Structure formats: structure tokens, C-alpha cells
Chains A and B, each alone.
Chain A
Amino acid sequence: DAGVTQSPTHLIKTRGQQVTLRCSPKSGHDTVSWYQQALGQGPQFIFQYYEEEERQRGNFPDRFSGHQFPNYSSELNVNALLLGDSALYLCASSLRQGSYGYTFGSGTRLTVV
């Protein structure tokens, strides 16, 4: 049973560019959340998608946007990249209705130069 799959694993972008990260949730999960993890810090919540709509959002600017597709997969888009956007971006999937924990992917390491 495949877990959460994220692509690409590593990415280097130039300041000002745009980037799209992708996530396929664990089979049977319907909710996808995105987190940003800076070096040495815990993951920070960006937003959560369910039924193709953004349901919750953390304290991130509008440069961060997302999308969820009918097959529950998701994309994270970041526009006008800043050096400070360099981080590990984690996708987590879960069941909307359930008390069990999230399943995280291994993340995409984004470096902005």
C-alpha cells in the first residue's frame, strides 16, 4: 500500500520564479495538508484541502496557493520566490472524519538561490 508520494524530491529555483510541488495522498485518504519546515524547526502548517477546496490556512501569504484534484492529489504553488522560502515542503494526507494521525510524505527540498 503506497503511502504519500511527493515530487520532485529536490528542486533549485531562482529568486522571483514560481514553483509547483505535487502530492499523491495515501490510498483511501481524502484530505491533504501542506507544511513548510525550515532547517532546525518543526513543520509549520500552510493549508489543508478537502473536497477540492481550501478548508484551513495557516499564517502564510497569498503567494502560497494550492489545488486539490478529484482524485484527491494536490499541488502547492509558490509565486515570486524569496530566499526565505527555502525549506522542506511536506505533504500529509488523512481522512476527514477520523481520529487517526496524518501520514506524511518524505517532502520536497526547495532551495531558492
Chain B
Amino acid sequence: DAKTTQPTSMDCAEGRAANLPCNHSTISGNEYVYWYRQIHSQGPQYIIHGLKNNETNEMASLIITEDRKSSTLILPHATLRDTAVYYCIVRARNYGGSQGNLIFGKGTKLSVKP
């Protein structure tokens, strides 16, 4: 089962910031928080990941609370093309550094409106 809880759906006005919350209260010390999104009829797309520090890249920012029990993905200036299902996933690095599989929940359906 997925270890995260996300709202089922959210709306955002075009040009405004979209803030997508995720609860992961049982996260372990060696687990990362990953965000993916899936635009209709496409495969999931990696957005960003972090362990305990806030992270930013060209797509988004990830804010992780100090206790690491929740996080927020921020799309600073949402466009219509950001309409998608957003998945928050926690995943451990296996011993030796290899990547474990991803466990997806149902995600948050973000609708960006004109």
C-alpha cells in the first residue's frame, strides 16, 4: 500500500502557484520523497525528489517539513499544460544504493483553469 495521503483533486488558476500537499507520517529516516506527474495518456514524469532539505529545480519546488511527516510540491506559475495527476511517493534507497520500486497511490488530480 502507498505510504502517502493526498487530496483527490485540486483546482488552480492559470498563472498562480499550485501547492500540492502530501502527508507521509510514517516515513522512515532513509526514505526519500518523490513527486511524479502523469498527463492524460502518457507515462508518469519525474518532477523532483528530496530527503529532508527543500529542493528546487526548473519544474518545481519541494518543501519538506522539519519532522518530515508532510511535504508540499509547488508549481510557481501553473499553466494549462500542468493539468495532470500528481503522485507523491516515499521510497527507500536499498542497501548498496540501488533503487527500489515505486509504490503509487491514486494521486491528486490537478486542474489548471484559465
Contact = CB atoms under 8 A, between A and B. Distances in A.
B45 interface: yes
Contacts of B46: 100-103
Interface residues of A, number: 31
Interface stretch (B18-26, B60-68, B75-83, B103-111): B103-111
A74 to B, nearest CB: 15
A43 B96 CA distance: 26
Given A94-B99, A106-B41, 14 more contacts: A33-B101, A35-B104, A42-B107, A45-B102, A56-B101, A90-B44, A92-B43, A96-B98, A96-B99, A98-B99, A101-B49, A104-B43, A104-B44, A107-B43
Contacts, number: 67
Helix, strand, loop or mixed for chain B's interface? loop
A63 to B, nearest CB: 19
A43 B44 contact: yes
Interface of A: 4, 31, 33, 35, 40-45, 48, 50, 55-56, 58, 90, 92, 94-107
